[in-house]
Structure 1
C-alpha cells in the first residue's frame, strides 16, 4: 500500500500527460482538441479548455524547477498564447462572454501566466502581451454564475491588475464578499447558496481565495486558518489505498481532489506533516494509474476509473478531466522543499468515526473503506428542487459509486429511502432538511408531497444503523437500499431472510439487514450503470407501510471487506429505538416531534443530543 512517490515520479507523470495531448493540438497550439464527447459549450470552447487546463499543469512543471524547465514546453504554450489571442487565426479563442465557459478557462490561463511570468509572459513579444491582456480583459463586467465562478473573475482581474491591464477593484471585492457569505464554519464553504458541499470547497473555494492573496499580496491569515481547519477533516475523505470519496459533481477531475493537500503545504496551512502529504498524494495518483487513468493513450477520459459518460455533467468536454492538473500543484514546491525531502509519516489508516457538522456528514472507516453518511448536502440552491445521485443519497464511499445510468437514476434504489405511493409514484430525497448531528449520529428529513421521511443514522462498529420514521398514505411500500458495488465481472448476490448482500470482485461486500418493519430483502443487478465497473448490484429491503399515517423502519447497512458481522439487536417502542452497541453502550434514538439521541457507556462515556 505504501506509495511514497518522489518528485521525479510526479514530473514524469506530468510530462507523460503533456506529451500525450500534443498530437491533438490544433495548428499553432492555441487549442487542444481531444477525442471524446463535446460539451454543451461546443468544440471551440472545448479546444480552449484543452489549452488552459494543460497550461496549468505545464506551469507547475515549469515554475517549480525553472532551472530544468523544458524549452519545448515553454515554446509550445507561448505559441498557443500568440495564436489563441489573434482574432485572425483559425483557432483563435472565443471572446469571454456572460456565464460562458471562457470565464473558467481564463482563470486557469491567468494562474499559469502568473506562476510562469518570468519564464513566459515577460518574454512574450509586446504585441502578444497586449493581445493576451486584451483577451483576459474581456472578463471585466461579465456575469459569472453565483458559485465558485465568481472567483474565476477575481483571479483574472487580479492578474490583470499586476500587469497593468483593465480590472475593476470593486468587482473583485464584491465577489470576495459573495464567497464570504458562503462560508459556514469548520473550514467549509457551500458552493453558492444552498447545501452544495463537495470537492469544490477544496479545489475551488480554498484554492482561489488563497491564490488571490498570492497574486495580490493581501493578508492570507483568515484563508490560511480556514484551510488548516478544513484539512483536519478533509484528509479523511481518502481511503488508506488512496481512493478518494466518490461524491459530488465534476468527479472526472480525479486527482484534483489532492489540490487542498498540496495547497496546505504551499501556504503553510496544513495540519498534515509534509512527508505524509507526499505519501497520501502518491497513493491517490497510484490508485487511478492502476485503474486506467490515464488510459493506454496517456489521456484522461471522461469517467472515473474507466470512461463512463453517465457520471459526468453536460458542461464537461474531452479536456475537462485536465483540471486534474490541480492535483499536481505540489510540483510548484521545488525539489528541495520538505514535502519532497522529509521522511514519509504514516497516515491515519485505522478505523474512524468523525462528525462533520458543517456539511452534515459522518465519516466512517473500517476495513480500509471510508464511507460518508450524508445528512446535509443535497446539491440544491434555494430556488431549485432536483435530486442528483452525486448529492442526495444517504451514503457514499471511497470504493463505490451511485448508480448513474438511466435505469439506476430512474429507480433510485442505492442508498436511498423511498416510499412508493399507492399510485406507483416513488418519492425522492431532493431537499435535505437537517435534524441534527452529534458524535456517531446524524439525522435529517425530506418531504415529497404529503409524504415525510425522517432518517437517523447511528454508527456502530462496521454498521450504519438507519432509523426511518415514515409518514405516508396507507398502502404505500417503503424501500431502503444499501451501497451499490460494481466490478468488471458479475457481482455475487446472497439473500437470506431479511438480509441481502452483494460482493464485487474478491472481497468488497455491501450488505443490508432488516431489523424492524421490513418484509423482504432483495437485490438489483445492473449492467453499464456504474462508474466503478460494468456489472453492479445493490442489496435492498422492502416493507409495506401499515394502516395509519406513521411507521418506524430500522435497517443496518455495511460496506467493507470484513465478510461476517453481526448487526445489533434492537428494541422498538413507539417512535423510540434502542440497543446496546458493539462497545456495550446503550443507544437510544427517537424521531418525530421531539427528536433525541443518546449513547451512554458503562465507563462514563455519555453523548446526549436533543433537537
Structure 2
C-alpha cells in the first residue's frame, strides 16, 4: 500500500519502532538488537541502537506527535545512562569514538524537547547529561561529516544556555565549508567521495544548523540554505518514479535515509523544490521501502539493503546501525497544516540526461523507470569499494552486486564492470582506482589497470536505456575478458530453470523487474549468462547478469558492447562504425564520435 499522507507514514513508523520495545531495559539507554559485530564493542553497539531511534522520536516528541508517556522511557534511560555513578553509565568517550556519532541525535532531541525533557530534570541530572556530551569538546573528531556531530552538540548547549566551545564551533564550520565544491555538492573529507553522505549528512545537518542558528549565525545559516537549494536541482535525479533511489556508495544499510534530505527540507521549511514535487519524491520513496522485506522475523530492521544481507555491510554496521534511517522520519514532526502535507504530489519534470560536474558523474532517468548513474574518479579504502564506487553504472531498478569470493565470474558477481583474469586462472579483477578519467555530457572515460602490464581505457556512452562500452586494451599478458551488464532477478541459481532470449549479436533475459540485454558490437566472441552467488546483488537475493566474453592474446585489442536495462525489451539497438582513428556510435538521432586512445 502506498504512503499517501501523514497517517500512512505514522503507521509505517509504528511498524518499525514498536518491535524495538521488546528489547528495552529499565533505566538503560541500550538496545541489544542482534548478535553480529561491528569494529566497536557490543556495548557501544547497544547504545547506538538506542540513540539512533531518537532521530525520529526526539523531534516527534517535541512537536507533540509522539506518546509522551512512552517518551518517559527515553528520559529515564538517558538520565541513568549519563550518570557516572549509575551501573548503566555510557562511559567515557575517546578520540574518534563511535559514540561521537550518536551524540548528534541526542543533541537534536534536547533542542526539540527542551520543555518536556531538559527543563524537567533536576540540576544534577542536567549537569550529568551536559558533562557526558561535553566530552566531545576535549577529544579528536574525524575531518569529514563527523564535525557536524560536534557542531550540533555545541548548538544544543547554546540553546540550553550552557557553556559551549566557540573555538571548536568556528573550526568545525570552517572544515565543513572547506569540503564545499559547487552547485550544492560537497565531498566527505575525501575529494574522491561524493555519495549519499552529501544529502543525508552535510545538507541534513546544515539545514538543522540553519534552522537553529539563523539568528546567532546568519552567514553560515544562509550558506547552508542556499547550497541545499542548489543541491536539490541535481539530487532529484537520483530517484525514479517507483520511489527507488539509485543504490550507490557506502552505508546503504541506512536505506530510506536516502530520502532524509527531503525530510529535513520540510522540517526546516526550506522549499528547495515545490512542496508538491518534494512530496512526490519523498512519499514515493517511503512507499518503495515499505514494500521491501527489510525487517527480520522479530520486526527489527536488518543489516542489508533490499533484504537481510551481511555481505554488503561495512565494518561499522552493528545490529542497531540501520536505525540511522530514522533521520528520514523527522518529517513526522511537521504539523499537518504545513503546506507540504496539504500539497498534491507532482512529478518533477526531469530531463533524460544530466551531467553533475562537481560530483563527476552522468545520470540518465529515462521515463522515470530506471535511474542510471555513471561515476568516474570515486574511491575510498573501505569494504567493497570497487563494487560500491567504481562500476561503470549503477541502477535504481537492477541494483548492483558485491563480490562474495575471488574465484570465477559467479563468485565475483561482476555486473556492470569489466572483469579481467590472466588466462589459466579463475582470479578475476575489476576496476578499482583510475589512472586517469574524464566525464562529459556524452560519455565517461576511465583508464585503469587490473594488474601489471595491462592497461585499459573504458569509455561509457549513455543512450537512454542503453549504454555502449568501448574498451581499448593494451596487454603484455594473455587474458580473459568478461564485460558484465545489469543484474536481473531470479528465484534460484539453477541455470536449467531459465531460458535466455537470443537476439542478434547477444542475449536478453526478462523477469518481472524488467529486461536486460547484452550485445557484442565489436570484438567479443559470445554472450553468457552468469548466475551470481546468492546474496550478492543488493536488491535481489538471487540474480543473473549477462556478460560479453573474449580471450585476448598479448597486444592491442578493441572490444565494444551494448548494455540495456529497461522495463520492456528494446526495440532498437545502437550501432558502431570504426575508422583508423575514430569510433562512431549511433543510436536513434544521437551520434557520439570518439578518438582512439590506446590503439
Settle same-fold status: TM greater than 0.5: yes
Quote the offset at 1:422 in angstroms.
4.6
Asked if 2 retains the 8 angstrom alpha-carbon contact of 1:476 and 1:545, the reply is yes
Worse-superposed segment, 47-56 or 285-294: 285-294
Asked if 1 retains the 8 angstrom alpha-carbon contact of 2:29 and 2:78, the reply is yes
Quote the offset at 1:587 in angstroms.
2.3
Alignment of structure 1 residues 412-431 onto 2, 5 Å:
413-422=414-423, 424=425, 426-431=428-433
Cα 1:61–1:10 shift into 2, 3 Å: farther
Any unmatched runs of 5+ in structure 2? none
Quote the offset at 1:462 in angstroms.
2.0
Asked if 2 retains the 8 angstrom alpha-carbon contact of 1:227 and 1:270, the reply is no
Match of 1:484 among 487, 490, 497: 487
Asked if 2 retains the 8 angstrom alpha-carbon contact of 1:495 and 1:522, the reply is no
Quote the offset at 1:266 in angstroms.
3.7
Asked if 1 retains the 8 angstrom alpha-carbon contact of 2:524 and 2:548, the reply is yes
Asked if 1 retains the 8 angstrom alpha-carbon contact of 2:527 and 2:547, the reply is yes
Say yes or no: does 1:136 pair with 2:133: yes
Map of 2:520 onto structure 1: 514
Quote the offset at 1:201 in angstroms.
0.4
Cα 1:535–1:241 shift into 2, 3 Å: same
Map of 2:146 onto structure 1: 149
Normalising by structure 2, we get a TM-score of: 0.91
Asked if 2 retains the 8 angstrom alpha-carbon contact of 1:256 and 1:323, the reply is yes
Cα 1:285–1:373 shift into 2, 3 Å: closer
Say yes or no: does 1:538 pair with 2:535: no
Say yes or no: does 1:16 pair with 2:15: yes
Alignment of structure 1 residues 28-43 onto 2, 5 Å:
28-43=27-42
| 1:78-119 CA-partner distances (Å, limit 9, x unpaired) | 111111112333332132111111010011111121122222
Quote the offset at 1:295 in angstroms.
4.9
Alignment of structure 1 residues 153-168 onto 2, 5 Å:
153-168=150-165
Asked if 2 retains the 8 angstrom alpha-carbon contact of 1:375 and 1:432, the reply is no
Say yes or no: does 1:251 pair with 2:252: yes
Say yes or no: does 1:401 pair with 2:399: yes
Asked if 2 retains the 8 angstrom alpha-carbon contact of 1:256 and 1:325, the reply is yes
Cα 1:108–1:409 shift into 2, 3 Å: farther
Cα 1:30–1:557 shift into 2, 3 Å: same
Say yes or no: does 1:352 pair with 2:358: no
Alignment of structure 1 residues 158-307 onto 2, 5 Å:
158-217=155-214, 218-219=217-218, 220-295=221-296, 297-307=298-308
Alignment of structure 1 residues 423-442 onto 2, 5 Å:
424=425, 426-433=428-435, 435-442=437-444
Aligned counterparts of 2:61 and 2:159: Cα–Cα separation in 1: 20
Aligned counterparts of 1:369 and 1:482: Cα–Cα separation in 2: 17
Match of 2:562 among 556, 560, 564: 556
Cα RMSD (Å): 2.5
Aligned counterparts of 1:152 and 1:488: Cα–Cα separation in 2: 43
Q: Secondary structure at the match of 2:301?
A: coil
Map of 1:371 onto structure 2: 371
Aligned counterparts of 2:410 and 2:311: Cα–Cα separation in 1: 10
| 1:313-348 CA-partner distances (Å, limit 9, x unpaired) | 121111111111111121232111001112222344
Aligned counterparts of 1:487 and 1:115: Cα–Cα separation in 2: 46
Asked if 2 retains the 8 angstrom alpha-carbon contact of 1:437 and 1:443, the reply is yes
Quote the offset at 1:412 in angstroms.
5.1
Say yes or no: does 1:528 pair with 2:535: yes
Report how many aligned residue pairs link the two structures.
585
Aligned counterparts of 1:450 and 1:173: Cα–Cα separation in 2: 49
Alignment of structure 1 residues 59-98 onto 2, 5 Å:
59-64=58-63, 66=64, 69-98=66-95
Aligned counterparts of 2:334 and 2:563: Cα–Cα separation in 1: 43
Quote the offset at 1:250 in angstroms.
1.0
Quote the offset at 1:475 in angstroms.
2.1
Alignment of structure 1 residues 455-494 onto 2, 5 Å:
455-489=458-492, 492=498, 494=500
Q: Secondary structure at the match of 2:329?
A: helix
Any unmatched runs of 5+ in structure 1? 595-611
Quote the offset at 1:4 in angstroms.
5.5
Say yes or no: does 1:336 pair with 2:343: no
Quote the offset at 1:48 in angstroms.
0.9
Asked if 2 retains the 8 angstrom alpha-carbon contact of 1:288 and 1:294, the reply is no
Aligned counterparts of 2:353 and 2:498: Cα–Cα separation in 1: 29
Quote the offset at 1:171 in angstroms.
1.9
Map of 1:603 onto structure 2: none
Asked if 1 retains the 8 angstrom alpha-carbon contact of 2:457 and 2:598, the reply is no
Quote the offset at 1:386 in angstroms.
7.8
Aligned counterparts of 2:138 and 2:432: Cα–Cα separation in 1: 34
Aligned counterparts of 1:574 and 1:477: Cα–Cα separation in 2: 25
Quote the offset at 1:19 in angstroms.
2.1
Normalising by structure 1, we get a TM-score of: 0.89
Asked if 2 retains the 8 angstrom alpha-carbon contact of 1:373 and 1:457, the reply is no
| 1:380-413 CA-partner distances (Å, limit 9, x unpaired) | 27xx998431111111111223222513796352
Q: Secondary structure at the match of 2:472?
A: strand
Aligned counterparts of 1:237 and 1:488: Cα–Cα separation in 2: 28
Quote the offset at 1:466 in angstroms.
1.2
Quote the offset at 1:547 in angstroms.
5.0
